[in-house]
Amino acid sequence: MDNIVDLVQSQVIASVKNGEHLRAAERSRSNIVFLLTGDLMTTHHYLNELKEHNKTTFVHVDFIEGLSNTKSAIKFIAEVWQPKGIITTKSNLIKYAKEEGLMAIQRIFLIDKNAMKKGIEIAHSCKPDAIEVLPGIMPSIIDSLTKQTHLPIIAGGLVSTKNQIDEGLKAGALAISSGDPKLWNLDF
Q: Alpha helix (H) ranges present in the chain?
A: 4-7, 22-27, 43-52, 71-76, 91-99, 113-126, 139-148, 162-170
Whether the ω angle into residue 135 lies within 30 degrees of 0, i.e. cis, is yes
DSSP category for residue 154: E
Q: What is the pLDDT of residue 188?
A: 80
Q: What is the pLDDT of residue 1?
A: 62
Its CATH class, for the domain covering 4-183, is alpha beta
Could you give the angle at the alpha carbon of 164 between the alpha carbons of 162 and 169, nearest 5°? 95
Map out the domains of the chain as residue ranges.
Answer: 4-183
pLDDT tens for the chain, 188 residues: list them: 689 999 999 999 999 999 999 999 999 999 999 999 999 999 999 999 999 999 999 999 999 999 999 999 999 999 999 999 999 999 999 999 999 999 999 999 998 989 999 999 999 999 999 999 999 999 999 999 999 999 999 999 999 999 999 999 999 999 999 999 999 999 88
Q: Give the residue from 21, 5, 1, 20 showing the smallest Cα distance to 180.
A: 21
- The verdict on pTM exceeding 0.75 is yes
DSSP helix/strand/coil, 155: strand
